[in-house]
Amino acid sequence: MGLLPVLFWPVQEYSDAIPCLKVAVTQFRPVKEPIVDTDQEKRTLLAVGLCMLVYLVWMQFFSPPMDTVNPAVSVDDLNLTTTQAKPADDPVGHNPSVSVSPGDNGDNEAANTGAQTPTVAAISPHGLELETDAFKGLVHSTEGALKAVELKDYNAQSVVTPLYAWIFDGAEGEWISYQGGDEPETLLSAAGALVVAGAGELGNDVSYQITKDGAGILASSRLHDGLKITKHYTTVERDEQSMAVAVTFSNHSERVIRDLWVGMADVADGTKADRFANVIRPIAFVDESLERVDDLEELKDEGAQRFEGLVDWFGLGNKYFMSVLAPLDAPPGEWVVSTLSDGRVGSYFRLRQPLDSGASRTLNFVTYIGPKDLDKTTATGHNLDRSIEFGWFGMFAKILLSMLKFFHGLVGNWGLAILLLTCTVKAVFFPLMQKQFVSSKRMQAIQPQVKAIKEKYKDNSQLQSQMTMELFKEHGVNPMSGCLPMIIQMPVWFALYNVMLYSVELYGTSFLYLQDLTEADPTGLLPLVVTVLMVLQQKLMPTASMDPMQQKMMRLMPIGFGIFMFTFPAGLVLYFSVNNMLTIVQQWFIYRKKEEPVSA
């Protein structure tokens, strides 16, 4: 639904081309297909458009908010200043004095032979801090995994309170547009876990002993159902966003162990996400395709989702950041997404190969923890740069992003860089726009003759098409020439839209009164500017050649776009507003330039 405005934006900006496009499509139909243009068809189209507008209004302003899954613990429950493997506050409520049976967490070798074995004490909660120049977290005995990961160079998004919501809710006190945003960006919560491992049921990991091992950290589990797991975490000096993780499975039982898995888990906000929501979701790159699971409610109803194929990387991420694992040896396996009994969502790599009795197997991974930055992900490799959702026109998007970074280097502000990029793109396509306007004006000039031909030969569609084409030839009009410039520019529109929507470079950046260009404008000023500019743009467009239904739909467009703009990221709305201003200036310039010879 979020892509709908960018689909209709060219129609609004180049509505002069609608008549020529309609004529072109009509003329190139098979001649034996009648031309239908009834009032019933118009009423049907108008009804569909109005229903869509009502639906969008409901979804944006009146639909129930997404349910939020609250973490069972907070970051404060973990001791992030721990420097030695010593007991710490238990982040998940484990009691160190509680003993466990061999079937839960202890040595299970005796259990396999039927002998009675006394219970063993649970591992006391403890952890070691793991830190690079880019992030820090705690490798904790609970699941032997990295938890509470904070990014050093980014702050969390502030909570935005739109002015219209504050007014309509009747809130008391002073309106505060932005709140928070001073805490570090948390990529994994205290309830999160990277890396988890096990066999059989997903998410059934055990406690670990955490120790220093040279420059790294070693997490060792006790024997559980004959399986022992060790995890070795090592930071990578040449890449501050990465670390190396080696997971070793050792089969101490007399049976074959199947369904080995490695992955991560964390709480996820809401049950369903759209392209504007910055929420954690399972993501992976499988068989040269970016996969993401958005609807958690559907995941709960249908169970685990499996994706077969070569897994380049997998993990959890939102629009701008991710924590993922990239298998180095790429063993045969599948990516599995599942919800766990504790409310978390898990992203796993499951191996197809079983582990024989007495055998061991080590899997090596590169872990990337950080922003979806094109330069950083490309440097790390493993197709991590494909995590940035530039869409079908990724080549154009990368070019535009490079230009945006270039302009930022010149002016030092991302808002000004957006202005310069929009002006540059508009200037490049100015000749094409001028050609389109000239062609559309010629088409409008002969519309009375076209209508006369349609009326005269309404019972003979073949002769109607023939006479219309002769009229075009006589006046030097090509019905496709006015539409072609619009079609040529569409890849750039789509690419620029995705650059504005997904570029982490804009995350947390300010411009004028806006504190974050990736969040919606809380004042609603920019969306109102876009709406007013669209109305002014329509006033400059001749609509005499449009039928009444088209004119009504065009008048509804500013309302529909205005509704969308209230939920768009401010950087994207800034681009739309500047683009619209320049379009109005270009229209005025082109019309004025063409009218001068007539007045002479």
**What was the pLDDT predicted at 550?**
66
Global pTM value: 0.73
**What was the pLDDT predicted at 116?**
36
Task: Find the mean pLDDT for residues 5-23.
Answer: 49
Question: Among 153-167, 266-280, 434-448, 459-473, which stretch is predicted with the lowest mean pLDDT?
Answer: 434-448
Q: Check whether 165 has a pLDDT greater than 60.
A: yes
Backbone angles phi, psi at 240, to 5 degrees: -70, -20
Q: Which two tokens stand for residue 22?
A: 């309609």
SS3 355: strand
Q: How confident is the model at residue 52 (pLDDT cuts 50, 70, 90)?
A: low
Q: How confident is the model at residue 590 (pLDDT cuts 50, 70, 90)?
A: low
Cα-only R_g, the chain: 30
> Cβ(276)–Cβ(2) under 8 Å?
yes
Q: Check whether 428 has a pLDDT greater than 80.
A: yes
**What was the pLDDT predicted at 503?**
87
**What was the pLDDT predicted at 370?**
92
Alpha helices per DSSP H over 385-524:
394-411, 414-428, 430-445, 447-456, 461-475, 484-502
SS3 168: helix
| Ramachandran quadrant class, 225 (left: phi over 0; alpha: psi -120 to 50; beta: rest) | left
Residue-averaged pLDDT of the chain: 75
Convert the pLDDT of each residue in 219-254 to its tens digit: 999 888 889 999 999 988 788 889 999 999 999 999
Q: How far is 545 from 531, CA to CA, in rounded Å?
A: 24
Q: How many CB atoms lie within 10 A of CB 453?
A: 19
Convert the pLDDT of each residue in 320-371 to its tens digit: 999 999 999 877 889 999 988 888 999 999 998 899 999 999 999 999 999 9
**What was the pLDDT predicted at 263?**
93
**What was the pLDDT predicted at 72?**
37
| Range among 112-116, 338-342, 359-363, 490-494 with highest mean pLDDT value | 359-363
Question: Among 25-29, 52-56, 290-294, 308-312, which stretch is predicted with the lowest mean pLDDT?
Answer: 25-29
User: In this structure, what DSSP letter does residue 62 have?
Assistant: I
**What was the pLDDT predicted at 441?**
67
| Ramachandran quadrant class, 242 (left: phi over 0; alpha: psi -120 to 50; beta: rest) | beta
**What was the pLDDT predicted at 493?**
78
Task: Find the mean pLDDT for residues 160-176.
Answer: 76
Q: How far is 405 from 269, CA to CA, in rounded Å?
A: 31
Tell me which of 339 and 9 has the higher pLDDT: 339
Task: Find the mean pLDDT for residues 462-488.
Answer: 74
Q: Which two tokens stand for residue 319?
A: 């629009």
Tell me which of 202 and 33 has the higher pLDDT: 202
**What was the pLDDT predicted at 487?**
75
Q: Check whether 279 has a pLDDT greater than 70.
A: yes
Tokens 């505060």 -> residue: 176
Q: Check whether 283 has a pLDDT greater than 90.
A: yes
Q: Three-state SS string across 136-155, please?
A: EEEEECCCCEEEEEEEEEEE
> Cβ(337)–Cβ(345) under 8 Å?
yes
Q: How far is 201 from 423, CA to CA, in rounded Å?
A: 55
Cα dihedral 591, 596, 599, 600, rounded to 10, equals -170
Could you give the maximum distance between any two Cα atoms of the chain, in Å? 109
**What was the pLDDT predicted at 210?**
92
Domains in the chain, ordered, with CATH?
4-53+399-599 (no CATH), 82-155+185-389 (2.70.98.90)
Q: Check whether 455 has a pLDDT greater than 70.
A: yes
**What was the pLDDT predicted at 49?**
53
**What was the pLDDT predicted at 102?**
29
